[in-house]
Amino acid sequence: DGGITQSPKYLFRKEGQNVTLSCEQNLNHDAMYWYRQDPGQGLRLIYYSQIVNDFQKGDIAEGYSVSREKKESFPLTVTSAQKNPTAFYLCAVGWAGGYTGELFFGEGSRLTVL
């Protein structure tokens, strides 16, 4: 079944712990993105990657890290340095190199810090 799979759907973390959110896609898209969603603030870009082994910081990268070791996967680590990590995290994919294409989103992961 084609699509974007994010896991886990819900995650609880104690303060001071790092957590990793998974994003896997089989749509064969080159570009992958991580967004953070907070109520009333829309979506904010954390990191993006156009090709394997390369990624760029978005607007709110502090306290987050990513890797892109294969085309299908773009995991996001929320580190203990992220001061306010409770949020809904969305992974998206799209075609690299084109202005006209839309993004396709996964179902999201909700992180709650206890």
Partner 1 sequence: AQSVAQPEDQVNVAEGNPLTVKCTYSVSGNPYLFWYVQYPNRGLQFLLKYITGDNLVKGSYGFEAEFNKSQTSFHLKKPSALVSDSALYFCAVRDRYNFNKFYFGSGTKLNVKP
75 counts as binding partner 1 under rule CB under 8 A = no
At residue 26, what are phi and psi to the nearest 5 degrees? -125, 30
Q: Which residues does residue 66 pair with via DSSP β-bridges, in sequence order?
A: 76
Which residues have C-beta within 8 Å of that of residue 86, sequence separation ≥ 6? Answer: 111, 112, 113
Q: Give me the 23-62 binding string for partner 1, x by CB under 8 A, dash otherwise.
A: --------x-x------xxxx-x--x-x-----x-x----
Considering the complex, state which of residue 34 and residue 78 has its C-beta at the smaller distance from partner 1.
34
Q: Do β-strands 109-113 and 10-13 pair in parallel, antiparallel, or remain unpaired? A: parallel
Interface residues with partner 1 (CB under 8 A) are: 4, 6, 31, 33, 40-43, 45, 48, 50, 56, 58, 88, 90, 92, 96-100, 102-108, 110
